[in-house]
Amino acid sequence: MTSIPPPVYWRQTKNWQNLLGKIGTVILATTNFVLIEIEGQRYELMTVTGDHLKPKDKAVCVFRRLSLPTPSGLIEYGLKAHVLKS
């Protein structure tokens, strides 16, 4: 497994704050992946493990690792969709 190149990681970090904590509505959902609408924009996001989101569910963007870390490379972080508890 190759790890993320540093400049790619660096560019990605600038987008984290735009989605962290934002709440959206699930449009379509499959295993571990959803199409979600957040503030009028559509995003395709991985979901938090164990969540079984369905269309029309509310979900919040949370900060998680995006892949299993390699032994020596940079750790990749990003936003995932997590079911919003009422």
Residues that bind other proteins (CB under 8 A): 12-14, 16-17, 20-21, 28-33, 35, 42-46, 48-50, 55, 62-69, 75, 77-78, 80
In the complex, least distance from residue 76 CB atom to other proteins, rounded to whole angstroms: 9
What is the C-alpha to C-alpha distance for residues 44 and 78, in angstroms, rounded to an integer?
12
Q: Shortest distance, CB of residue 61 to other proteins, whole angstroms?
A: 10
Integer angstrom CA distances of residue 55 from 40, 80, 81: 16, 16, 13
In whole angstroms, the minimum distance from the beta carbon of 86 to other proteins comes to 12
Alpha carbons 77 and 34: distance in angstroms, whole number: 18
